């Protein structure tokens, strides 16, 4: 038994820290962590860090049911045991600076007391969903320095979520799921591939800091304000854009007489019906040949077209003047 583990056991200590070169040397000798660690079920704080030989953990970690803080930073973890989800008293989970590329889909669903989550500096291209029933206490999420392109839908009921860091990922579009989280105070999304920032952000009334430096924004004025760290001016600029959008929408509605609006709506419905007559829902006979009809959901497009799985269009002549425009409008 390692001396730190022995002392924790004999003195019934609630905290254990194993970190650095001396721990790495012991692992090198035995090719494993001291298995006695997983018998210390009184622990509420466990840190195992800066041990580059650690690529995985024992399933017995699930026995430490009293843990409230688990820090596994700066190792070389490439996977997590499924039993981590059994740590239902966990409030702080730090998995930063590892080599994780995939997480179990239900990882967060049982961590009902989780408040802070740090997954920064890994190899993740997606993260598991959160639950409106079980993750209400979640306050801070750090997903920076990964390879994430999209986020799962964040439940609006995450009313304690105040800060999220998405910097240095692969977002091409601002994740719209954040626009419904009125509790957010800080959003960091520097160093991605964003070309636009939605002015709707200005309607998150608790938001006091938004950062999106080092993105290829089309709006040079907004980009300049951000690069100059003028956070207040950025929020005011977005608010002005939002007000102008609201005003233009309102004015457009007022300028069209009600009868003309109804005529346009009826004409639009008629045009849609003409094209819909040419479109059939794809039905696949599960007993038949599926070759060439496999439906694939790609993470990079699911936010753009989240509901249409597949569509086969037949007998439409798009070369006829006006048909292409009508078809695109129907999409």
pLDDT of residue 82: 94
Q: Whole-prediction pTM value?
A: 0.75
Contacts of 243 (CB under 8 A, 6+ apart): none
pLDDT of residue 246: 80
Whether the predicted pLDDT of 57 surpasses 70 = yes
Whether the predicted pLDDT of 316 surpasses 90 = no
Q: What is the CA radius of gyration of the chain?
A: 26
Average pLDDT, the chain: 86
pLDDT of residue 247: 79
CA 32, 123, 76: angle at the middle one, nearest 5? 15
Residue in the structure block whose two tokens are 């591939």: 193
Residue in the structure block whose two tokens are 């699911």: 302
Distance CA 157, CA 134 (A): 10
Q: What is the pLDDT of residues 207-233, one digit of tens each?
A: 999 999 999 999 999 999 999 999 999
Q: What is the pLDDT of residues 227-284, one digit of tens each?
A: 999 999 999 999 999 998 887 766 555 555 555 655 665 665 555 555 545 444 444 4
Question: What integer is the mean pLDDT of 199-205?
Answer: 94
Which one has a higher pLDDT value, 153 or 331?
Answer: 153
Q: What is the pLDDT of residues 80-95, one digit of tens each?
A: 999 999 999 999 999 9
Which one has a higher pLDDT value, 124 or 325?
Answer: 124
Q: What is the pLDDT of residues 281-314, one digit of tens each?
A: 444 444 445 455 555 666 655 555 555 556 666 6
| Matching CATH number, 3-246, of 2.60.40.10, 3.20.130.10, 3.90.980.10, 3.80.10.10 | 3.80.10.10
Share of the chain above pLDDT 90, in %: 70
Whether the predicted pLDDT of 168 surpasses 70 = yes
Q: 109: phi > 0 → left, psi -120 to 50 → alpha, else beta; which?
A: alpha
Distance CA 192, CA 39 (A): 43
Delimit the domains of the chain by residue range. 3-246, 275-330
Provide the Cα torsion 135, 138, 142, 147; round to 10°: 20
* Res. 30 pLDDT band, cuts 50 70 90: confident
**Which contiguous run of DSSP H or E holds residue 16?**
strand 15-19
């Amino acid at each position: 038994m390692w001396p730190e583990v022995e002392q924790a056991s004999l003195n019934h200590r609630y905290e254990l820290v194993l970190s650095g070169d001396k721990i790495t040397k012991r692992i090198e000798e035995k090719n494993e962590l001291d298995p006695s660690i997983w018998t210390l079920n009184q622990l509420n704080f466990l840190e195992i860090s800066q041990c580059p030989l650690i690529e995985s953990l024992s399933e017995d970690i699930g026995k430490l049911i009293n843990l409230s803080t688990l820090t596994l930073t700066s190792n070389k973890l490439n996977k997590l045991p499924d039993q981590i989800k059994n740590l239902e008293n966990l409030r702080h989970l730090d998995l930063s600076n590892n080599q994780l590329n995939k997480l179990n889909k239900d990882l967060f669903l049982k961590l009902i007391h989780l408040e802070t989550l740090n997954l920064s500096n890994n190899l993740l291209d997606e993260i598991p969903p959160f639950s409106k029933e079980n993750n209400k206490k979640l306050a801070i999420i750090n997903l920076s320095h990964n390879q994430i392109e999209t986020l799962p839908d964040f439940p609006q009921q995450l009313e304690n979520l105040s800060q999220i860091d998405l910097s240095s990922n692969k977002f091409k579009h601002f994740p719209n799921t954040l626009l419904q989280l009125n509790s957010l105070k800080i959003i960091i999304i520097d160093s991605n591939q964003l070309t636009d920032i939605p002015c709707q952000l200005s309607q998150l009334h608790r938001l006091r800091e938004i950062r999106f430096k080092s993105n290829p924004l089309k709006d040079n004025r907004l980009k300049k304000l951000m690069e100059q760290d003028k956070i207040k001016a950025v929020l005011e600029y977005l608010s002005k854009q939002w007000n102008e959008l609201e005003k233009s929408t309102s004015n457009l509605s007022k300028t069209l007489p009600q009868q003309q609006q109804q005529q346009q709506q009826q004409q639009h419905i008629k045009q849609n019906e003409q094209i819909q007559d040419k479109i059939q829902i794809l039905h696949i006979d599960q007993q038949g040949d599926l070759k060439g009809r496999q439906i694939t959901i790609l993470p990079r497009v699911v936010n753009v077209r989240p509901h249409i799985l597949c569509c086969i269009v037949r007998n439409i002549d798009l070369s006829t003047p006006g048909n292409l425009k009508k078809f695109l409008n129907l999409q």
